[in-house]
Every structure is written in structure tokens, then in C-alpha cells.
Amino acid sequence: MKNKILLFFLLLSAFRGFSQNETYPQTKKSIFIYTIENITNQQQLDSLQFEIEKIKGVSEVKTICKWESGKGQLIFAYNEVISGTENIENVDMGIVKQMILKRNLGFVDFKIK
């Protein structure tokens, strides 16, 4: 009987130690809005949208353009993975600005919702 009780407490403490060290990932969804200018054609926006969709964690990519002003917005959602130990896997959003500039578009501003 003592052996069973001892075995029970050993297993209980082992499980307790394992579960405290285990991480339980959660996600946080953020909406990124980039205002861009110097838009001359739809191909610029289509190629930009295609490149942004390749970034891990990015979804719901769309572009809005006001052709008369040549200005528009790039809007997308990003799902950050947050673990139980408060580690956050962030993506470098500077790469998005580089993608904008690579297409001869102007970067005006940036917001996160």
C-alpha cells in the first residue's frame, strides 16, 4: 500500500512539473494598415498583395485605391503566436515597407488596430 501511495505521488509530481513547463500557444490578431501613394496601375497593387500573402501569419490581405489621387491603403491581418511563457513570435514589418518601396510606391504612414 505504501508503494502505491509513493508511486502515486511520484507520478503526480512528475506530471505537475511537466505541465508547468509546457507552453500553451495562443494567437493575437492585429490589423495592419499601410497608407501608400504614387499608385499608377493595378499591377503594382496585385503584385504587392501577392507578396504580402506569402508572409507567415498574414491573412485577409486587401488593397484599396483612390485612382484620382494615386493614394491607397494596404490592409492585412497578422496572427501573432503568443505562448504561455509570454514569448511572442513577431514578424519584421519592415519587410512590408521594403516591398512597398520596391514597387516604386511611396510610403505615407502606418497604423495597427
Which CATH number belongs to the domain containing residue 65 in this structure?
3.30.70.100
**7 in a structural domain:** no
Structural domain includes residue 32: yes
Where in the sequence is the domain holding 98, given as residue range(s)?
23-112
- 77: pLDDT confidence band, cut at 50, 70 and 90? very high
What is the band of 109 on the pLDDT scale with cuts at 50, 70, 90? very high
- Residue 82's pLDDT band (cuts 50, 70, 90): confident
Average pLDDT over residues 2-10: 74
- Give dist(CA 53, CA 60) in Å, integer: 8
| 38 has a pLDDT exceeding 80 | yes
- Is 72 within the bounds of a domain? yes
Residue 9 in domain = no
The number of distinct structural domains making up the chain is: 1
Does the residue 15 lie in any domain?
no
Q: Is 112 buried (19+), middle (13-18) or exposed (0-12) by CB count in 10 A?
A: exposed
Average pLDDT, the chain: 83
